Amino acid sequence: MFETALSLAYPWLKAGHVISVISWMAGLFYLPRLFVHHAERAEIGSEMSETFKMMEMKLYRVIMTPAMMATWLFGLSLVAIPGVVGWWFAPKFIAVVAMTWFHVWLNARRKEFLADANSRTGRTYRYMNEVPTVLMIVIVVVVFVKPF
């Protein structure tokens, strides 16, 4: 009964998953860019620094974290439907776990900025900004191209 209901809900679950992934990815791309500018342009205690802190907090708490949670909820719901998961699930799962780790890493950096304790340069955040891009490419190729 439960599996039948999930199967009927499949297109809606898939749509919810894609929408939440897009929202989460937007935040994963944007927050490190905010950190670049915060690290390079905002003096500690300045109005600009405080504005960056507010922007970073709202992006993380209001957009990114709910989107990540929805991504996991929709994704796990899809996994529960018989026949949906293929061999590609293991590498995708590993990449999503890595993306979740990156999400948590960004929160730790956000808290450092909040405490005026950031010790990283804008260059570090520019490099880290590539992490979600690489993970996204892995996920899309594994799920849609199935190269192996």
State what percent of residues in the chain have pLDDT above 70. Answer: 98
Name the token pair of 78: 């899809």
CB 96 within 8 A of CB 131: no
pLDDT in tens, 35-44: 999 999 999 9
pLDDT exceeds 80 at position 2: no
pLDDT in tens, 5-27: 777 899 999 999 999 999 999 99
Quickly state the pLDDT bin for 1 (edges 50, 70, 90): low
For range 128-133, the mean pLDDT: 97
- The residue ranges of every structural domain in the chain are 2-145
CB 30 within 8 A of CB 59: yes
pTM, to two decimals: 0.93
Q: How far apart are CA 135 and CA 58, in angstroms?
A: 24
